[in-house]
Chains A and B, each alone.
Chain A
Amino acid sequence: MSRACGAASGQALVELALVLPLTLLLGCGAVAVVQLARTQMAMQTASDAAALVAARAVDARVACSQAEEELATVVQESQGLLAGQLHNMTLGTCVGQPPLATALPATPGSGSYQVWFGYGGSDDSFCRLGGAPNATGLTDGDVEVMMAFRPDLDWIPVLGNWLSPVLHASDTEKIAPFRSRDPSQDPTGDDC
């Protein structure tokens, strides 16, 4: 009787030892997935808002600064991993070739963004300051904001090493044609 009792209690202990880590892992995984989802939402909101204000700006230079400001504000107010873990948001640029692969964040907790503009007409101040030739998917008069962020999941010992996703968010807005300005109306010649 006492041997049977001991065997049952041993079996219960083994079961507990199996179930407990599994439950913990599942719990941590669920929390991580929720955090990732919230971070993705925050990034999407940030890029939507940044693209919107950039498309409304009077020229490319203002568009860049407003987009940067908007991204910073939304990131600051966001929930999830973004605000708490983002050590630096680097590589913000409004010119050049778009491939984001060059700007992918390498270290956990870091991110990057880019703002660029599709080619407009020859009198388009957006084009002259920030036109991106060969920008895939961009058409004339577009402004696009892209963000990439590698969350820091080191707090989950197993999943942190296994899961190392890079989250992306982007949005494209159309620049109102009336915002483009004729270069002949630019007395200082600074494109603004």
Chain B
Amino acid sequence: MRGVESGQAMVEFAIGVAVFLLVTLGAVQIGLLALAEEGVQSASLAGARAASVSPQGLNPAVILENGAEAAGTSLRTLVAGMAEPGLCPAGGTTCWTRLECVRYRGGVAQPATTRPCSSLPAAAIASYTYGPVPQELDGAQNPSCHAAQCFGVAALMQPCRRTVATGRLAICVAYTSWPPKAVDVWITGELRTIIPWIGSAGPGSVPVSSRLRLSVEAFS
């Protein structure tokens, strides 16, 4: 009889310890996740801030890349090792150097004028004559946008539309229109967790997402 009671007490003790540990770790995890989410929001603002400087005279691909890099730098310090930011799906910054520009007239892209943004002369950029091709714009000029307000339709946003692997964060930056009025920044991904947590990418991960549209600096 005494042996049964002692066994029962041990089982209760084990359950109690397990629950206590789970609750404690859960509380720590909630705190870490809240900090990481704040970090993602701060990073999206840092990225938008860098990407929304006036592109007059500056290559649009370089400014967008600067924005993404600013967000990436901010994320590395703020997500506490729960995820690694990635600028491009394949790593590196090749997706920015591949950005193509086209000649615009009255907000309409002119056919057969496409060329790499990196090869444009400064004068063509300063006058907003050339800008990213419509497929790279995150607004009504993009043929994929069928509504008044679009977000995430640009080809540059593609990494953020897909499910990102656990422990990875995708950073997507695109102009909403050309001439530029605003930049869209979307940071999305899955944070690693220390307790079993069911995320869309599987157990042990929590999805996080921050979307921001910031007006581009204007001069008159």
Chain A interface (Cβ < 8 Å from any Cβ of B): 30, 34, 37-38, 41-42, 44-45, 48-49, 52-53, 56-58, 66, 69-70, 73-74, 77, 79
**A49 to B184, alpha carbons, bound, how many Å?**
12
**Are B215 and A66 neighbours in the complex by a CB distance under 8 Å?**
yes
Q: A37–B209 Cα gap in the complex (Å)?
A: 15
Q: Which residues of B contact A44 (CB under 8 A)?
A: 41
B212 and A45 within 8 A (CB):
yes
Q: Are A30 and B220 in contact, with the CB atoms below 8 A?
A: no
Q: A30-B30, A49-B48 in contact; A70/B38 too (CB < 8 A)?
A: no
9 A-B contacts (beta carbon < 8 Å): A30-B30, A38-B34, A45-B210, A48-B45, A52-B214, A58-B219, A69-B215, A74-B212, A77-B211
For residue A82, give the distance in angstroms from its CB to the closest CB of chain B.
12
Report which residue of B49, B211, B215, B218 has the largest number of chain A beta carbons within 10 angstroms of its beta carbon.
Answer: B215
Contact A70 B215, beta carbon cutoff 8 Å: yes
| Secondary structure dominating the interface of A | helix
User: Which residues of the partner chain A approach B214 to less than 8 Å between Cβ atoms?
Assistant: 49, 52-53, 70
Report which of B45, B151, B217 forms a contact with A56, defined as CB distance below 8 A: B217
A73 lies within 8 A of B213 (CB): yes
Contact A42 B34 (CB under 8 A): no
> Which residue of A37, A45, A48 is within 8 Å of B34 (Cβ)?
A37
Give which listed residue, B34, B45, B209, contacts A49 with CB less than 8 A.
B45
Instruction: Tell yes or no: B37 within 8 A of A by CB.
Output: yes
- What CA separation (Å) do A32 and B219 show in the bound complex? 43
User: In the complex the two chains form, what is the Cα distance from A14 to B218 in whole Å?
Assistant: 67
| B41 x A34 contact (CB < 8 A) | no
Contact A77 B37 (CB under 8 A): no
**New A-B contacts (18) at CB < 8 Å, excluding given A34-B30, A37-B34:** A41-B37, A41-B38, A41-B41, A42-B41, A45-B210, A48-B45, A49-B212, A52-B214, A56-B217, A57-B218, A58-B218, A58-B219, A58-B220, A69-B215, A70-B215, A73-B213, A77-B212, A77-B213
A56 to B41, Cβ gap below 8 A? no
Q: Give Cα distance in the complex from A34 to B37, angstroms.
A: 11
CB pair B45 A45 closer than 8 Å? yes
Determine the chain B residues whose CB is within 8 A of the CB of A66 once the complex forms. 215
Could you tell me the distance between the alpha carbons of A68 and B49 in the complex, rounded to whole angstroms? 17
Q: How far is the CA of A79 from the CA of B218 in the complex (A)?
A: 29
C-alpha spacing A58/B217, complex, angstroms: 9
Q: Chain B: which residue is nearest A37 at the CB level?
A: B34
CB nearest to B30 among chain A residues = A34
Q: Which of B33-75 contact A (CB under 8 A)?
A: 34, 37-38, 41-42, 44-45, 48-49
Q: Which residues of A contact B44 (CB under 8 A)?
A: 45
Complex interface: chain A residues within 8 A of B213 (CB): 73-74, 77
